[in-house]
Amino acid sequence: MRVGLIGNPIAHSRSPRMHNAAFAALGMNHTYELWETEPDDLAERVATIRQSEILGSNVTVPFKEKVVSLVDEVSETSRRIGAVNTIIPHDGKLIGDNTDAYGYAASIRESYPGYTPERALVLGAGGASRAVIVALQEMGAGEVIIVNRTLARAEELAAELGASAAGWETLPDLMPTASLVTNATALGWYDERVLDESMVAMLPQGAIVTDLTYANTPLLQDAAAHGLHTLDGLGMLVYQGVRSFELWFGITPPVDVMWAAARG
């Protein structure tokens, strides 16, 4: 039996090693595959998940938003985020869900048990930001502020999700009172700095700085150098995978095995 990942490009994905390691540990005769898909072939690809030997699918960029209209039903979480990253076949229907918010919140709780941010800054107003915002709200964050270079985009997203919005130029005023900062922009994957080190230095001691990338980015390095708590995005990847596994099979996979495979 098969599950897989729909996206483009996806050759770099760590999901197959995570899930296949979990299958092996549990003695499940399943395989997790990479289903790289061209945009024009997306609807056909999603339709194949109705085949009996396919048990489900994950979805990644650039298709998370597009898949919403291709499944039969979506969860409330998917509706709020506006994206699907997990497809579950059930009683002849395809159910779209989103485990990214769960993954983000679970990674925070694992590293910082009991933590609830009073003021959280989310950098960027793209698709990745939406899951982070929903996760922070579900964690009970006191205030979630979307900070974006294009203020109108931040305001639009804030109005939709019930958050606050601010322009990039307001960061010097916001950073000294922030308890958590998350980089949800594309910057950071290739050693770019999303914030100057001087900006990071404005954060109060005890603040947490997170990045959705899987590496020790310049943002995280700067934060650590100033004695701040840091967290990269690998935990979010692992825990969104854990939750997807639960939705497909009704059991919790061995988290330690998936962590070890993700670290590779």
Give the C-alpha separation, 205 to 197, whole Å: 15
The residue annotated as part of the active site, out of 19, 30, 45, 64, is 64
Give the C-alpha separation, 24 to 2, whole Å: 14
Tally the C-alpha atoms within 13 A of residue 161's C-alpha that lie toward its C-beta.
Answer: 33
In sequence order, the β-bridge partners of residue 181 are 121, 209
Q: Is 93 a catalytic residue?
A: no
Residues in the chain: 264
Tokens of 176: 């000294």
Give the C-alpha separation, 226 to 221, whole Å: 9
92: CB partners within 8 A, 6+ apart:
50
Give the residue numbers marked as catalytic: 64
